[in-house]
Amino acid sequence: MRSTRSTDARGRGAGARPVDRHLRVVRVLAVVFGGTWAAALAVGALGATGVGALLASSGKLVFFVGLVAMFVVRGAGATEDRAAWWLLAAAVGAYFAGALAFELYYRALPVAPRPSWSDLGYLGFYPLAFAALFLMLRTRVRRLTAATWLDCVITGLTAAAFAAGLALGALVRAADGSVAVVLAGVAYPIADLFLLGLLAGGLVVIGRGAGAGWWWLAGGAALFVVTDTVYAHQVVHGTYTVGGPLDVAWSAAFICFGMAACRPTRVGTTSRVEGRLALLVPAGCALSAVGLLFWGYLGDSDPVAGVLALGAVLAALARTGLTFRDVRALADSRRQARTDELTGLPNRRSVFEALEAADERLASGAGVTVLVLDLDRFKEINDSLGHAVGDALLRQVGPRLSRELRGEDFLARLGGDEFIVLCSALDGADAVTLAARLRAQLQQPFRVGGMSLTVDASVGVALGPEQSATAEELLQLADLAMYSAKAGRSGSSDGVAVYDDARDGSGRHRLEAVDQLRTGIGSGQLVLHYQPKLALATGEVDGVEALVRWQHPTRGLLFPDAFIDLAESAGLMSRLTSAVVDMALAQCRAWADEGCPLTVSVNVSPSNLVDEEFPDEVAQALRRHGLPAAALVLEVTESILMEDRERAVRVLSRLRATGVGVSIDDYGTGYSSLAYLAALPVTELKLDRVFVGAMTGSSRAASIVTSTLQLAHALDLTLVAEGAEDQDTVDALATLGCDVVQGYHLSRPLPPEQLWAWLQDRPPAGVRSPLADDLR
């Protein structure tokens, strides 16, 4: 007969999530009922009889009730493992029923029968606990693949086989009691083995992300295995006594389960080892199982252990088959990921892996030569004969080029009709000779669909480490040299050019500048200066224009003319504009918080006007900084509007729908059409400084300003005159009824802190900005 088992759970939660209210309740219950169990254990250890013995046994029973309550509360507060904790509560409840029957009836008998009805309650613990642990495993491993199941089965069967081989078989052979006594004794360790197998396999599947709770459960199951094996041995030999050391060991097992309930749940944090390391545990288990079978073959071992070990070996063989299948699929996947689908050559991803390997050769002092080939007249073939013919031709390029290459040379398709060759060090003459041989192969006619097609190629060559110590830069240099060969700027007519810094250096420095600008945009090197705009009717500065500068780490403060064209050509203008809008709105918000609400104007690039997502980005930035849409004015040039008028109108219309202002910048210098003024959702015309600066000395310029002002007002647009450099110009504009002026006479563009000081020094105009009402 097994005595009652108890637990103490004073665990301090240390998990991935904060301790919630239910977990705190569980810990309070653990302290209260753990104290009850400790007191009962102390009374029992003192050998109390009569009332003392009754108190000891009652204290243990009370603790079982508390443990059930802990699991119920733990489940109520759980989101992922609720059913699992309630199943554990039912499992402990079944165990409590067996302990209660023992205390109320069997303890008083001179000789307790074996088996008894208490055993039914004790054994009822196992299927419920197994179901609870299985649910916990499913929660932590969302996708249980066949390989995952097999890893769990291999580990569990191996652990069970060794436990059976080391203890269970000898126990059964030594049994001299009835069959019922033997079965009752061995049922416990067998049931424990099932639990231990599930937990051990689960630890392999979950890995380091199992969490402390899972380890406590595994520890409790391991204690059950050891204790129940000793218990079965004592039952068979008639040496088991109630209240002995086994009761303490069983109590320690329940302590582990109670500690698991006190730990926060860790779900979704599995860190299962992948790759070859993932096979170490199942492989080690399989070898151990084979060793156990061999040991059984040599001697008289337990047949149960042999069956379990055989099952582990068979599962390991199935796992090996799955592993070979997965490895083959992975190899195919990697090959496809690194292979150009059309030509079968290595693709761009493989190129950069090859460049990394070339970097190692360069670092060791070895030389590397890079050749970039671009097919001439290939676009004509595609356009006139179709892409199918062009693709068929490209498939023949690889075999042609391979004829002239050595086995260690690397040939790949960069994309389109560009190919790359990486080879060991060649001097300039040998590299040019190789390039000429490659061109000769491509100049031979290609047979495609009964047609004979002729192409040529331009080849650029870069030599390392003479021209660069990095393979990726060598690729860039070879690409620049290829364009020189294609343009005929190399001074030769053979279509081959070796990189020359004097000839191609500007392109190289441009690549470096693009990379620096990309870094500068992302690392906060852009700064904004602000030029105020004066409303002539009120004398109030109610807006500013944000002008971007680049604080270059080595070249100092750069003005837009030094990098805007670079950003446009490199495709960085959209990112740059988005960064400027965000910075301008952040500054606008800061000024508004200081009691000085201002509108801010930002120049917009062509790439923004054809970007359908740009209006959403602007709206999101306004929400992020808590500003009304009227706080922002986007300035666009007339030439931008003519590039893709339909899309520009669509994007600007969406911006205007949100309330953002739209200004035509440099009006009068581009394609000034009344038709687009009528169609575009424009709120402002910004007259170019060429007309404003000349109006006081030229009647024609003054007439242009006057007519433009009348046109703007007729269309209900605001007119901003930029380039007001003196007071006479400002006075003339005020006389004409101009709305807003901007220029050096008012202020140069200033950093935000200087503009703030400038605004504070200006006398108040006495008229409140209309934007202030929106920002209150």
pLDDT in tens, 536-570: 999 999 899 999 999 999 989 999 988 988 888 77
> For 489, how many CA atoms within 13 A lie in the half-sphere containing its CB?
12
Query: Residue 571 belongs to a domain with what CATH number?
Result: 3.20.20.450
Residue 275 lies in a domain: yes
Hey, what's the torsion of the CAs at 454, 458, 464, 468, to 10 degrees?
A: -150
Assess whether pLDDT exceeds 60 at residue 9: no
484 and 367 housed in the same domain = yes
Domain shared by 89 and 209, yes or no? yes
Q: pLDDT-derived band of residue 775, with 50, 70 and 90 as boundaries?
A: very low
Residues 430, 521 within the same domain:
no
| Stated pTM of the model | 0.45
DSSP annotation of 468 reads -
Q: Which two structure tokens, joined as six digits, stand for 49? A: 């009889």
Residue 643 has pLDDT above 70, yes or no: no
Residues 489 and 616 in one domain: no
Give me the mean pLDDT over the 515-527 stretch: 92
Asked whether residue 316 is domain-assigned, the answer is: yes
pLDDT in tens, 52-61: 455 455 666 7
The per-residue pLDDT for range 245-276, each reduced to its tens digit, is 777 777 777 778 877 777 776 554 444 444 44
Mean pLDDT over 278-287 rounds to 56
Q: How many CB atoms lie within 10 A of CB 173?
A: 9
**pLDDT band, very low/low/confident/very high, at 696 (cuts 50, 70, 90):** confident
Cα distance between residue 722 and residue 533, in whole Å:
9
Query: Minimum mean pLDDT among 51-55, 398-402, 748-752: which range?
Result: 51-55
In which band, very low, low, confident or very high, does the pLDDT at 302 lie, cut at 50, 70 and 90?
low
What is the total count of domains within the chain?
3
Q: 261: domain range? A: 21-320
pLDDT digits (tens, 9 = 90+) for 575-590: 999 999 999 999 999 9
- Is the same domain home to 283 and 353? no
Q: Which one, of 601, 597, 602, lies nearest residue 541 by Cα? A: 597
Residue 718 is assigned to a structural domain of this protein: no
Q: What is the DSSP letter of 106?
A: G
Q: Does some domain include residue 99?
A: yes
Question: Is position 709 within any domain?
Answer: no
- Locate tokens 């041995």: which residue? 233
Mean pLDDT calculated for residue range 726-747: 92
Q: Going by C-beta distance under 8 Å and a sequence separation of 6 or more, which residues neighbour residue 338?
A: 346, 347, 349, 350, 353
pLDDT value at position 491? 45
Residue 531 resides in a domain? yes
Residues 103-139 pLDDT 10s: 777 766 765 666 777 888 888 888 888 888 878 777 7
What is the rounded CA–CA span in Å between residue 640 and residue 422? 43
Q: Which residue has the tokens 């309930």?
A: 261
Would the pLDDT of 49 be above 80? no
Residues 436 and 472 in one domain: yes
Residue 177 scores a pLDDT above 60:
no
Instruction: Give yes or no: residues 268 and 405 share one domain.
Output: no
Residues 144, 103 share a domain: yes
Residue 220: predicted pLDDT:
78
**339 pLDDT above the threshold of 50:** yes
Whether 300 and 363 map to the same domain: the answer is no
Q: In this predicted structure, what is the pLDDT of residue 489?
A: 45
Q: Which of 300, 320, 340 is the last residue of a domain?
A: 320
CB count in 10 Å sphere of residue 537 = 12
- Residue 335: its pLDDT value, please? 65
Note whether 578 and 617 are within 8 A (CB): yes
What pLDDT does residue 293 have? 55
CB 177 within 8 A of CB 231: no
Q: How far is residue 705's CA from residue 70's CA, in Å, rounded to a whole number?
A: 85
pLDDT given for residue 273 in this prediction:
44
CATH number of the domain that residue 396 is part of: 3.30.70.270
424 within 8 A of 367, measured Cβ to Cβ: yes
Q: Which residue has the tokens 């009120």?
A: 538
Q: Which of 448, 464, 499 is the last residue of a domain?
A: 499
Same domain, 493 and 575: no
pLDDT tens, 369-388?
A: 999 999 988 888 888 888 89
Query: Alpha-carbon distance 746 to 735, whole Å?
Result: 17
| pLDDT at residue number 607 | 77
Asked if residues 696 and 729 have their Cβ atoms less than 8 Å apart, the reply is yes
* Residue 631 is assigned to a structural domain of this protein: yes
Give the pLDDT of residue 327. 61
Query: Token pair for residue 573?
Result: 């203008």
Structure tokens at 254: 């329940």
Query: Is the same domain home to 536 and 441?
Result: no
Q: What pLDDT is attached to residue 286? A: 57
Give the residue carrying structure tokens 């600066």: 693
Please tell me whether residue 633 adopts helix, strand or coil conformation: strand
What DSSP state is assigned to residue 412?
E
Looking at per-residue pLDDT, the higher value among 491 and 100 belongs to 100
For 179-186, the CB contacts below 8 A with 24+ separation are 180/114, 180/115, 181/114, 181/115, 181/235, 181/236, 182/236, 183/115, 184/114, 184/115, 184/119, 184/235, 185/114, 185/231, 185/232, 185/233, 185/235, 185/236, 186/232
**Quick one: pLDDT at residue 17?**
43
Euclidean distance between the first and final Cα of the chain, in Å?
A: 80
Nearest 5°: the CA angle 598, 600, 606 is 170
Is the separation of the CB atoms in 461 and 367 below 8 Å? no
pLDDT of residue 694: 87
3-state SS track over 474-487:
HHHHHHHHHHHHHH
